[in-house]
Amino acid sequence: MNDNPLIVQGDRTLLLEVNHPLYREVRNEILPFAELVKSPDYIHTYRMTPLSLWNAASLGLTAEAIIETLLKYSKYEMPRHIFQEIHHTVARYGKLKLTLVNDELILTACEEEIITDLLGYTSIARLVLRQIDARTVVIPKYLRGAIKQSLIKLGYPVQDVSGYTDGEPLAVTLEETADFTLRSYQKESVDAFYAGGTVYGGNGVIVLPCGAGKTIVGMAAIARVGMATLILTSNTTSVHQWREEIIKRTSLTPEEVGVYTGQEKQVRPITISTYQMITYRKTDGDFPHLALFHERNWGLIVYDEVHLLPAPVFRMTADIQAKRRLGLTATLVREDGREEDVFSLIGPKKYELPWRTLEEAGFIARASCTEIRVPLIGKERRAYIEAGERQKFRIASENSEKIRVIKELLLQHKNDQMLIIGQYVSQLEFLSEELGIPLVTGRTPHAEREILYAKFRSGQLGRLIVSRVANFAVDLPDANVAVQLSGTFGSRQEEAQRLGRILRPKANNHAYFYTVVSSNSNEEQYALKRQMFLVEQGYTYELIHKEENLRKTMSDFL
């Protein structure tokens, strides 16, 4: 035993002492290969999963490097079988390779017994066209995505080096100026994405915090590839922001950049659409807009907010594996557990920087996170007790005591640019009327939204209430305070995106993130789950309890 802060357990979980002087150092070291599972006050629990180890391998980490890190910081002697399990799991990445030989898709194993074992599974055998020898089989080219999906489910992440077909050439340059130039990490991320050059380079996921310039990275990747590009993003606001940035920052003209939405359907060398548009389904079950994937000879497809990729787009992505693919996200966390599909169909993680690293370098704002717990009292407490689990959450989320906290925060931050964000529109409408603050929801016309956003950016408007429509891609760089009134149950990705609304660099480079939670309710547990990803990134939440007026509570119950 020594004074190190890490305990490595036999089930691949890692226990990390939060109050230890080496906590931050160790957290940064294990983050590339382990995922946070629980984050109570004193001990954080991480787990090494096959996917976390394969992503680490895709970033160039070896089993030896991972084990060396664990040995360096472990408090006790490590279970011996952990060494073998890490070696075995990491070695799985690269045991199977896909190559293209004489226009045939070839799956090759490094060991004969692997192919023998895999052909015993019906899910694999039905995808094989023929067997060449003990280590090699032929896969139909159109099943390139399907074989990768099936194999990863069996614990074999395929290294796909079968290359990509070139799309329609497009001359485009990123126009850097004295006021605008690629940051070092943005250039590194594009280099990592394009490693392999013109033949093999061009697939994978780049993970950067909100406010770190993922759109800039996307544009730099488009310029590097130099081909017609389809960009899919989360909402119509994001579509227009992408278009404006591309026209502003590159050599492309407005005529070369089209949007494909419900209002306009322009298919141009650069075309930007939404996941909602692509997955629109007619009453007969048909997806008419999936045809956009074939409307032009795309050389690159950019999946913005790739953690939101819907199931129908996964299916289409499986069919177009010969296209170069770039995923952009602040978090690879998916609430539906389909991270393996992102890995196999979009590509492995190619680049990631911890949020705190960019904060320390001044590239994103320093953020103070606070959870404010307020009492649930009177009739609302009685309704909560009598309700079902899901209804309990809504009652707790819409706790009227939260309005008092909002008013206090408005006074505390009277000179700041504040966003008030919530889940339930009826709650936000009441708050908007009560406080006289404009409200933006999914029902707000696009033109009206843009007017309000413009006023907020110019400083004419210091407060804005927004629904879930503002979770993604709303460019309000001067916002430095966000108050989360209610959220989507335990959505970790939503928590990260909402904090991201206020992380753009600012004059004093400090931001404040508040989440208001009903105490002694199930909202507390969901809030802890929502915070997990940000805790993994190094953020801590100060906890403030608002005193409960016990006399009022008792009188309401009597």
| Phi-psi domain of 556 (left: phi exceeds 0; alpha: psi -120 through 50; beta: other) | alpha
Considering the domain architecture, whether residues 150 and 218 belong to the same structural domain is answered as no
* Any domain includes 455: yes
Q: Rounded to whole angstroms, how far apart are CA atoms 107 and 305?
A: 31
Considering the domain architecture, whether residues 411 and 457 belong to the same structural domain is answered as yes
Question: With bands split at pLDDT 50, 70 and 90, how would you rate the model's confidence at 557?
Answer: very low
Considering the domain architecture, whether residues 100 and 232 belong to the same structural domain is answered as no
Higher-scoring residue by pLDDT: 36, 268: 268
Considering the domain architecture, whether residues 380 and 509 belong to the same structural domain is answered as yes
- Residues 517-534 pLDDT 10s: 999 998 888 888 888 777
Predicted confidence (pLDDT) at residue 148 exceeds the cutoff of 80: yes
Considering the domain architecture, whether residues 56 and 133 belong to the same structural domain is answered as no
Closest to 83 (Cα-Cα) out of 48, 35, 31: 48
Burial of residue 534 (CB within 10 Å: 0-12, 13-18, 19+) is buried
Higher-scoring residue by pLDDT: 443, 125: 125
Among the ranges given (39-53, 154-168, 462-476), the one the predictor scored with the smallest mean pLDDT: 462-476
CATH number of the domain residue 497 falls in: 3.40.50.300
CB atoms near residue 38 (< 10 Å)? 15
DSSP state of 250: B
CB atoms near residue 341 (< 10 Å)? 22
pLDDT at 10 (0 to 100): 92
Considering the domain architecture, whether residues 505 and 421 belong to the same structural domain is answered as yes
Predicted confidence (pLDDT) at residue 553 exceeds the cutoff of 60: no
Considering the domain architecture, whether residues 473 and 383 belong to the same structural domain is answered as yes
pLDDT at 229 (0 to 100): 97
Mutual angle of helices 378-386 and 550-557, in 10-degree steps: 60
| φ and ψ of 214, to 5 deg | -65, -30
234 Cβ partners below 8 Å, 6+ apart? 274, 275, 304, 305, 308, 472, 473
DSSP state of 255: G
* Any domain includes 172: no
Q: Which amino acid is at 105?
A: L
- Residues 290-308 pLDDT 10s: 888 888 999 999 999 888 8
* Any domain includes 169: no
Higher-scoring residue by pLDDT: 288, 533: 288
* Any domain includes 179: no
* Any domain includes 165: no
Considering the domain architecture, whether residues 192 and 149 belong to the same structural domain is answered as no
What residue numbers bound the domain in which 76 lies?
Answer: 6-92
Closest to 450 (Cα-Cα) out of 434, 431, 430, 464: 464
| φ and ψ of 59, to 5 deg | -85, 0
In percent, the amount of the chain with pLDDT more than 70 equals 95
Considering the domain architecture, whether residues 491 and 539 belong to the same structural domain is answered as yes
88 Cβ partners below 8 Å, 6+ apart? none
Question: With bands split at pLDDT 50, 70 and 90, how would you rate the model's confidence at 550?
Answer: very low
**DSSP secondary structure string, 538-550?**
T--EEEEEPPP-H
| φ and ψ of 493, to 5 deg | -65, -35
pLDDT at 477 (0 to 100): 67
CATH number of the domain residue 127 falls in: 3.30.70
| Phi-psi domain of 520 (left: phi exceeds 0; alpha: psi -120 through 50; beta: other) | left
pTM, two decimal places: 0.81
Question: With bands split at pLDDT 50, 70 and 90, how would you rate the model's confidence at 318?
Answer: confident
- Residues 34-62 pLDDT 10s: 987 777 668 888 999 999 999 999 888 99
pLDDT at 472 (0 to 100): 58
Question: With bands split at pLDDT 50, 70 and 90, how would you rate the model's confidence at 552?
Answer: very low
Are the CB atoms for 107 and 114 separated by under 8 Å? no
Considering the domain architecture, whether residues 32 and 65 belong to the same structural domain is answered as yes
| Size (the chain), residues | 558
pLDDT at 353 (0 to 100): 82
* Any domain includes 48: yes
Considering the domain architecture, whether residues 413 and 511 belong to the same structural domain is answered as yes
* Any domain includes 543: yes
Are the CB atoms for 97 and 161 separated by under 8 Å? yes
Domain boundary among 39, 64, 92: 92
Domain boundary among 353, 387, 420: 353
Are the CB atoms for 236 and 278 separated by under 8 Å? no
Among the ranges given (41-50, 213-222, 400-409), the one the predictor scored with the smallest mean pLDDT: 41-50
Q: Which amino acid is at 399?
A: N
Average pLDDT over residues 152-179: 92
Considering the domain architecture, whether residues 193 and 288 belong to the same structural domain is answered as yes
